[in-house]
Amino acid sequence: MSASRRAAARTTRIGLFVPAGLAVALVALPLAALLLRADWGGLLGHLADPAVLPAIRLSLATTFTTVVVAVLVGTPLAWLLARSHSRRASWLRALITVPLVLPPVVGGVALLMAYGRRGVVGAPLLDLFGVRLPFTPVAVVLAELFVAMPFYIIAVEGAMRGVDPRLDQVAATLGASPWRCFTRVALPIAAPGMAAGAALAWARALGEFGATITFAGNFAGRTQTAPLAVYVALERDPDAAISLSLAMLVVSVVILGALRGRWVR
Amino acid sequence: MRGSRPIRRCRPTLAYAAVAAAVLVASACGARGGSGGGGESGVADVDPGAGGASGSTVTVLAAASLTEPLTALARGYEADHPGVQVRLSFGSSTTLARQVAEGAPADIVALAGSTALAKLPPDAAQDGGRATIARNAMEIATPADNPGRITALEDLSRPGLDVVLCAATVPCGAAADAVLSRAGVTPNVVSREVDVKATLAKVRLGEADAAVVYHSDVVSAGDAVHGVAIPAARNTTLDYPMLWLNRAEHTVGFAELVGSREGVTALTAAGFLAP
């Protein structure tokens, strides 16, 4: 009895550990290779490269703007989606999810069609206000919002769904307005989910490449984010590309770690 | 309460085990199916031994600017040699050279300019051969309606114009930089694209007022863009070296076609200069 149980336990362990180990290897191996191949001696020199620092700065500035905008406009949408059971809400949810599965380059083309100089919105903007969006940092933020905000909305909607509807009913019977229910009941309960969603959206925005290069172009200091700089550096100086990749890895891990320790459990 | 706990804890473990087993079976099946499928569909990408020149497939990596003439020549070659497939992949010469150096399977490599050659292994063509198939000059491309009213190189430095160039690391960008700096023209560059077709696309879409690209790209874009010539004295030309990396029948066959009178005709019709 106990022997067969032990055998079963062993089988279970093998059945779990082998695929689990494979999963770890698939993720960890490339990261380890990056560390192994890094030119540690030249690391600081590469990071002082005139193309690298502006790229990291631009990436940080645009991704934080993206997260702030996503939180400001995405949170109310997530709340409305979480509390609505209408067919329209499920269509809206499907629409918001599209960028998650769309190749980012396609997103970039769509953004050009919308905000480009001849775009649906871009042409009137240029004619009426002289505002041109492509090739500007604003375009970088728009591209990052397009690909990253859905991550935030979906994560926060999930968290807000978990808010017991009876809690806002109780709040309402105690005389709280819907706005007060949202800010005093739903938001505090969903806060960890919001932090997780923000971290996810931030990480996705930081890695954004396809939509950015298609819509915002690639110009050092203005629209060349860190991933674009890595791609261009790979042609010129692979060691510099590896150094920049390492810097991005460190920044991502540090910020995700900080978020995790602070807000996410 | 206490008594029920171990049972409860056990349940998810069993469930996980079941899922893991299912995944394992599925992945084993997937791996078997996958390797078979990959071997067939991805011959040129993963399996240089089975695919490539020894069989009836020729893999050609070529500079983005060669897209139109090489595609036409490849389709012609396939029509003349039933069963033979010419696989074409276009990109920036710098990227292609790096990919070949990193072991990307290729039978023929055609590059823009000779700088990218340095990224290839020095013995790349030792089993095959090499030839210069064409030359190309630079030209200014504007949207068809030329909203910036550009008529000469100097116009590019006019403030308020959006100019797009190739990245300095790829041949078309280096050539454009050379032409502009020699002429003392400093344009308002808004983007440096990864290859010449991406650069031209920004002009075709009307997002940029001008780009400095190859003459052949302006020709291949037809009515979609307007070309503004750069006088020969201020222009620069690039050679297009082609390397064949083995002596397989169709590798040599296609290389010979590109170098033949028919190939030169196709290239010059596409806006290239004869070698």
Closest CA to A153 of A66, A81, A62, A256: A81
Q: A23 contacts in B (CB within 8 Å)?
A: none
pLDDT in tens, A77-101: 999 999 888 899 999 999 999 999 9
Element (H, E) at A246: helix A238-262
With an 8 Å Cβ cutoff, are B190 and A116 in contact? no
Tokens standing for residue B53: 């020149």
d(CA B204, CA B225): 6
CA-nearest residue to A12 within chain B is B17
Closest CA to A241 of A250, A225, A229: A229
Query: Which residues of chain A have a Cβ shorter than 8 Å from any chain B Cβ?
Result: 12, 15-16, 18-20, 112, 116-118, 132, 134-135, 213, 216-220, 222-223, 231-232, 234-236
- Beta-strand pair B129-143/B189-193: unpaired
In order of their start, the domains of chain B are: 50-134+239-269 (3.40.190.10), 136-237 (3.40.190.10)
| % of chain A at pLDDT higher than 90 | 46
d(CA B127, CA B138): 33
Q: Is the pTM of this model over 0.80?
A: no
With an 8 Å Cβ cutoff, are A135 and B191 in contact? yes
Is the pLDDT score of A176 beyond 80? yes
d(CA B3, CA A164): 31
- Beta-strand pair B225-229/B129-143: antiparallel
Identify any residues that bridge with A92 across adjacent strands, giving them in sequence order.
Answer: none
Element (H, E) at A32: helix A2-37
| % of chain B at pLDDT higher than 90 | 60
Which residues, in sequence order, are CB contacts of A79 under 8 Å at separation 6+?
A156, A157, A160, A182, A186
With an 8 Å Cβ cutoff, are B205 and A112 in contact? yes
CA-nearest residue to A137 within chain B is B190
With an 8 Å Cβ cutoff, are B193 and A218 in contact? yes
Is the pLDDT score of B28 beyond 80? no
How does the average pLDDT of chain B come out, rounded?
82
pLDDT in tens, B168-214: 988 899 999 999 999 999 999 999 998 888 999 999 999 999 999 99
| % of chain A at pLDDT higher than 70 | 97
Q: Which of B17-26, B77-86, B126-135 shows the lowest per-residue confidence on average (mean pLDDT)?
A: B17-26
With an 8 Å Cβ cutoff, are A19 and B27 in contact? yes
d(CA B149, CA B141): 11
Tokens standing for residue A233: 């550096």
Provide the pLDDT for residue B33: 34
* Contact in structure between B275 and B132 (CB atoms under 8 Å): yes
Which of A105, A115, A117 would best serve as a mutation to test chain B binding (most B beta carbons within 10 A)?
Answer: A117
With an 8 Å Cβ cutoff, are B162 and A132 in contact? yes
| % of chain B at pLDDT higher than 70 | 80
pLDDT in tens, A188-224: 888 888 988 998 899 899 999 999 999 999 998 899 9
Residue B84 DSSP label: -
Mean pLDDT of B142-146: 95
Selecting from A15, A112, A132 the residue whose C-beta is nearest the C-beta of B24 gives: A15
Identify any residues that bridge with B60 across adjacent strands, giving them in sequence order.
Answer: B88, B108
pLDDT in tens, B217-230: 999 899 999 999 99
Q: Half-sphere exposure of residue B116, counting CA atoms within 13 Å on the CB side?
A: 34
The backbone region for A63, taken as left when phi is positive above 0, alpha when psi lies in -120 to 50, beta otherwise, is alpha
Q: Which amino acid is at A115?
A: Y
Question: Helix, strand, coil: what percent of chain B each, to 5?
Answer: 50, 20, 30
Provide the pLDDT for residue A241: 86
pLDDT in tens, B32-68: 333 333 333 333 333 333 344 445 899 999 998 899 9
Provide the pLDDT for residue B7: 41
More confident residue, B256 or B126: B256
Provide the pLDDT for residue A262: 52
Mean pLDDT of A101-110: 92
Q: Which ranges in chain B belong to alpha helices (H)?
A: 4-41, 43-46, 67-80, 93-101, 171-183, 196-204, 215-221, 249-259, 261-269
pLDDT in tens, A231-252: 888 877 778 888 888 888 888 8
B162 touches chain A (CB under 8 A): yes
Provide the pLDDT for residue B29: 39
Is the pLDDT score of B6 beyond 80? no
Which of A5, A26, A219 would best serve as a mutation to test chain B binding (most B beta carbons within 10 A)?
Answer: A219
B164 touches chain A (CB under 8 A): yes
Q: A236 contacts in B (CB within 8 Å)?
A: 168-169
Using alpha carbons, list the distances in angstroms from residue B166 to A9, A259, B196.
60, 39, 6
Residue B273 DSSP label: B
pLDDT in tens, A10-64: 888 888 889 999 999 999 999 999 888 887 877 888 877 777 888 989 999 999 9
Tokens standing for residue B183: 């002429």
Residue B86, phi then psi, degrees to nearest 5: -105, 110
d(CA B79, CA B191): 40
Burial of A42 (0-12, 13-18, 19+ CB in 10 A): middle
Mean pLDDT of B102-131: 87
CA-nearest residue to A133 within chain B is B207
Identify any residues that bridge with B109 across adjacent strands, giving them in sequence order.
Answer: B61, B243
More confident residue, A126 or B15: A126
B24 touches chain A (CB under 8 A): yes
Provide the pLDDT for residue B55: 55
Q: Which of A67-81, B109-123, B129-143, B206-220 shows the lowest per-residue confidence on average (mean pLDDT)?
A: B109-123
Tell me how many degrees the CA angle A101-A104-A107 measures, rounded to the nearest 5. 95
With an 8 Å Cβ cutoff, are B206 and A116 in contact? yes
* Contact in structure between B235 and B148 (CB atoms under 8 Å): no
B193 touches chain A (CB under 8 A): yes
Provide the pLDDT for residue A73: 97
Provide the pLDDT for residue A181: 83
Q: A219 contacts in B (CB within 8 Å)?
A: 189-192
Selecting from B167, B190, B198 the residue whose C-beta is nearest the C-beta of A232 gives: B167
Q: Half-sphere exposure of residue A34, counting CA atoms within 13 Å on the CB side?
A: 17
Is the pLDDT score of B15 beyond 50? no
Selecting from B13, B190, B198 the residue whose C-beta is nearest the C-beta of A219 gives: B190
Selecting from B20, B162, B207 the residue whose C-beta is nearest the C-beta of A15 gives: B20
d(CA B136, CA B272): 5
Is the pLDDT score of A123 beyond 60? yes
Q: Which amino acid is at A169?
A: Q
B30 touches chain A (CB under 8 A): no
Provide the pLDDT for residue A1: 53
* Contact in structure between A65 and A141 (CB atoms under 8 Å): yes
